[in-house]
Amino acid sequence: MAGSGYTDLREKLKSMMPYRDGHKGGGGGGLPREPPDPPYDRKRRHQEDSGSEPSDYEEQKEEEEARKVKSGIRQLRLFSAEECAKIEARIEDVVSRAEKGLYKEHTVDRAPLRNKYFFGEGYTYGSQLQRRGPGQERLYPRGEVDAIPEWVHDLVIRKLVEHRVIPEGFVNSAVINDYQPGGCIVSHVDPIHIFERPIVSVSFFSDSALCFGCKFQFKPIRVSEPVLFLPVKRGSVTVLR
């Protein structure tokens, strides 16, 4: 996370909206709103209900949407199998330290089939929010999550800088998402008032995929066909602009 023209994102947030110190609630006018369902999603649901086949027009709309999404994505294969193994051992150590209670309270966020580890900066989201909705996410006060480990700088960030994926000094937050088999995260947009673009992710342990344009239903969990299915290989870097 980085804020253009600001040394601390808390200053950026204060300049953008009414804001109270700390991470509880707050908010007001000028917050980004959740965009309405795109037309292709409404049409798709209607087709599923009616059992009709998609028209050429609807297929063209979906293809156009997929092209737009893909135009903001860049992927690189930067980390060798040996480098991945070295980093994965460090991640396992993070998991072990968290299980022993060696991190600050807000460094670790646990959910079914997925644990999240914040370093540098952390923020409230989802069920943690006092007021729900896009734009309500808040950074935790400085010092409430652990600093970015040195191995992240040495083994991950340095290589991203060397290959000009990001400029020197861009990263002030590193988050590890540890998914168990069958684990996933629902469709979302990383908060635009907190995160500077690009969002950069590096994948370890296994191949996976990113899916765009999915709609989730729960109990039981179900998901619609994605607008774009993006394979993500172990050791690859995905840059989202």
- Is the distance from CB of 241 to CB of 166 less than 8 angstroms? no
5 or 180: whose pLDDT is higher? 180
Residue type, 78: L
Task: Kindly report, residue by residue over 196-212, the tens digit of the pLDDT.
Answer: 899 999 999 999 999 99
Residue type, 151: W
- Is the distance from CB of 164 to CB of 137 less than 8 angstroms? no
Q: How far apart are CA 48 and CA 56, in angstroms?
A: 16
pLDDT band at 131 (very low <50, low <70, confident <90, very high): low
Architecture label for domain 72-240: Sandwich (2.60)
Active site residues: 123
Q: What is the pLDDT of residue 134?
A: 62
Q: Write down the pTM of the prediction.
A: 0.71
Is pLDDT at 184 greater than 50 in this prediction?
yes
With 0-12 / 13-18 / 19 or more C-beta atoms within 10 angstroms meaning exposed / middle / buried, residue 31 is middle
Average pLDDT over residues 84-97: 98
Sequence spans of domains, the chain? 72-240
